[in-house]
Structure 1
């Protein structure tokens, strides 16, 4: 089992500094909202099961989703609507949501998964942060599970696109469905494949 090294948490906690970890889920899909989450754990918190949400099973993510919310000193989950993604572009929409969470969090240090933030707090943008930091990994789990729940609900409303399975990502099934069934209100019209099929 892979475990987060928590190098940045350990350094911060040794100085009694609090840390928020921030991550997102849903930058790549053609459909559905983006989710961004932030988590602050108590100083010295340990849970070796918390790791990159993409690298653990759905069953474990669901269990940890509850555990993280119970154990965290603070957490925040932000849903970014499709309209905002199309208006701003996915990078800016992600950055703005992360900045919003970072500003709300009462903490000394901000850790993000590969997203630089310009603010007065100390910020570390970590490549593969969800594999290095328990705080970022926890945020990735909160964001992914929240988004998956929404996509399962949307699958009931927008049938034929396979959203329960592909979660809105551009799988062959999803792209074929877009061509035959058309573009819906939950599709990101600023994304190339959707724009092409919509003829915009």
Structure 2
């Protein structure tokens, strides 16, 4: 999980940032983009793609990453912003904003899949990077934990949608709740086709 980082260390780069996003395909809730710079000597085989970890494992690793990382930060984009810009563009905007914000403390960026433009920092886009880079995987864990906590907050506000369970994804249970209660502005993503269909259906009733 450190082959990309080790190669860059050999080239003279030291502060290598990993970036990833979570929540792009969700029907509800925010999209979160995170950045993480780990010490050159740090290695943890338990850090991997956040989707492959249990909630308990993610929370433990999140606390460790926050403790040991040289840099950790994230941006939370509300559903209305995702609706306006689309999820892919939102992810790129978030990555560019984080890189530019911390550019004085970054030498190189490893990014999960996306290609950025608005930054002077060199980067490498890696397909399925959260499976191949410890730095990207760490960012994915941070983004996932932060987003899950946001969904817990929404669950308290709107318990009928069971956001603490489905995390805003389009589960059957979530779909049934939407048909019964209707989508909520700036909670659900109104630009998504499944939400549009439900809105159209409810408007015809």
Coarse TM-score class (shorter-chain normalised) = over 0.9
Match of 2:64 in 1: 67
- Name the structure 2 match of 1:148: 148
1:133 and 1:104 map into 2 onto residues whose CA distance is 22
Cα distance in 2 between the residues matched to 1:154 and 1:16: 44
Contact 1:40-1:74 within 8 A present in 2 as well: yes
- Give the SS at the match of 2:159: coil
Structure 2 residue 99 is matched with structure 1 residue 102 = yes
SS of 1:168 mapped into structure 2: coil
Q: Report the equivalent of 2:193.
A: 192
Once the 2 structures are TM-superposed, how far is the Cα of residue 16 of structure 1 from its aligned partner?
3.6
Question: For 1:105-160, what per-residue CA distance to the aligned partner results, in whole angstroms no more than 9, with x for missing partners?
Answer: 32111111100112332111111101111110000000000000111111111122
Alignment-derived partner of residue 87 in structure 1 = 84
Structure number with higher helix proportion? 2
1:10 aligns with 2:6: yes
Hey, what does 2:27 align to over in structure 1? Answer: 30
Separation in 2, partners of 1:10, 1:25: 26
> Aligned residue for 1:121?
121
Residue 134 of structure 1 corresponds to 134
Task: State the partner residue of 1:20.
Answer: 17
Q: Specify every segment of 5 or more residues in structure 1 that has no aligned partner in the other structure, as ranges.
A: none
Structure 2: runs of 5 or more not aligned: none
Shift of residue 104 of structure 1? 2.1
Q: Deviations over 1:57-114 (max 9, x none)?
A: 1101001111001100011111011111011111111110011112223211111110
Is the contact between residue 13 and residue 44 of structure 1 (CA under 8 Å) also seen in structure 2?
no
* Corresponding residue SS for 2:18: strand
2: distance between equivalents of 1:16 and 1:75? 22
Aligned residues of 1:27 and 1:90 also touching (Cα < 8 A): yes
Give the TM-score normalised by the residue count of structure 1: 0.94
SS in 1 for 2:120: coil
Alignment partner of 2:189: what SS?
coil
CA distance in 2, matches of 1:73, 1:183: 40
Runs of 4+ deviating beyond 4 Å: none
Structure 1: distance between partners of 2:196 and 2:83 = 11
Question: What secondary structure, in the 3-state scheme, does the structure 2 residue paired with 1:27 have?
Answer: coil
Question: Hey, what's the Cα distance between the residues in 1 that align with 2:142 and 2:12?
Answer: 25
**TM-score normalized with structure 2 length:** 0.92
